[in-house]
Chains A and B, each alone.
Chain A
Amino acid sequence: SQQGEEDPQALSIQEGENATMNCSYKTSINNLQWYRQNSGRGLVHLILIRSNEREKHSGRLRVTLDTSKKSSSLLITASRAADTASYFCATATDYKLSFGAGTTVTVRA
Chain B
Amino acid sequence: EAEVAQSPRYKITEKSQAVAFWCDPISGHATLYWYRQILGQGPELLVQFQDESVVDDSQLPKDRFSAERLKGVDSTLKIQPAELGDSAMYLCASRASGRAIEQYFGPGTRLTVT
A contact set with B: CB distance below 8 Å? 1-2, 4, 31, 33, 35, 40-45, 48, 88, 90, 92, 95-102
Contact = CB atoms under 8 A, between A and B. Distances in A.
B1 interface: no
Contact of B101 (A31, A44, A88, A102): A31
B41 A95 contact: no
Contacts of A41: 107-108
B41 A101 contact: yes
A82 B71 CA distance: 39
A20 B12 CA distance: 37
Nearest to B45: A96
B41 A2 contact: yes
A52 to B, nearest CB: 14
A109 B56 CA distance: 44
Contacts of B110: 40
